[in-house]
Amino acid sequence: MAWSIADVARMSGVTSRTLRHYDEIGLLPPAWIGSNGHRYYEEADLLRLQQILLMRELDLGLREIQAVLDSQVDQVAVLREHHQRLLREQGRLETLVRTVGRTIAELEAGEEENGMAKINRPENLFEGFEQSRPEVEAEARERWPQAREQSRQAAEAMTAEDMELWQREVTAQMIRLAEFMVAGTPVTDPAVQAEMDAHYRGVCRFWTPDAAAYKGLGQHYVDTPEFRANYDKIADGLALYQRDAMVVYADARLS
């Protein structure tokens, strides 16, 4: 049995335009193309699409997905691995739900200390959040050893209040940048570049990159899953958008 591209789009929620793109890049070619030029998909293609969507849910890029699909032999083994990863993510999200629910309950309980709501066990605020992996820290030390040491020293000199304020500023800036991206604002726009100037000055609180290092930092945001996931949780594609904006800024201001 075969299904038309319209049928597949309806069943999967993937647009026909996206399916055509997957065909053009060789990720999901149709089983055959009819005399009318329409694409038709068979069961094996639907299973491949399911795997693509699963890996997209796990924040893999299209090139990474292509490599995985081209190298796989046992479909059941691959699906079982995805299933295990999803179960782990489900467990993490359930922990986060409990963490946030517990925080809400404690804040609503109204117990105060120095005019602010009191959290009985502060360490519980962070249960379930993803932490940086050791290999990411190792990569940073290898690529930018001097900058990594300068950053470590600067961070250690910050108070908890300073660090919290800085994290809020970073998040607010990411949201502003996402708004520019969603609005279709070019990365060369003065308003976007003003955000990059603020971003660069924020980086300089920890270390001072030259043009090449600043571009490398932008690419690091894209290539490192933890960084990219943090950006893409705010808006899909934000890491790429910021990287491109950082390249423009580096060429114009740091070269």
Q: State the amino acid at position 247 in one-letter form.
A: V
Note the pLDDT of residue 164.
67
* Cβ-based neighbour number of residue 252 at 10 Å: 12
Q: For residue 124, give every residue at least 6 positions away whose Cβ sits within 8 Å of its Cβ, in sequence order, or none.
A: 99, 102, 103
Least confident of 31-40, 99-108, 171-180: 99-108
Burial pattern 217-244, b for ≥16 Cβ within 10 A else e, equals: bbebbbebbebbebbbeebeebbbbbbb
What end-to-end distance do the CA atoms of the chain give, in Å?
A: 59
Give the DSSP letter of residue 125: G
E strands, 149-206, where?
none
Q: Give pLDDT, residue 244.
A: 95
* Residue that wins the pLDDT comparison between 122 and 160: 160
Helix segments in 13-126, DSSP class H:
16-24, 43-57, 62-71, 75-109
**Percentage of the chain modeled with pLDDT above 70:** 66
Span 63-80, pLDDT tens digits: 878 877 777 556 666 667
Rounded to two decimals, the pTM is 0.45
Write down the pLDDT at residue 193. 95
pLDDT tens-digit series, residues 210-241: 898 889 888 888 888 878 887 877 778 889 99
Q: Which is more confidently placed, 127 or 65?
A: 65
pLDDT band at 1 (very low <50, low <70, confident <90, very high): confident
Q: Rounded to whole angstroms, how far apart are CA atoms 150 and 207?
A: 6
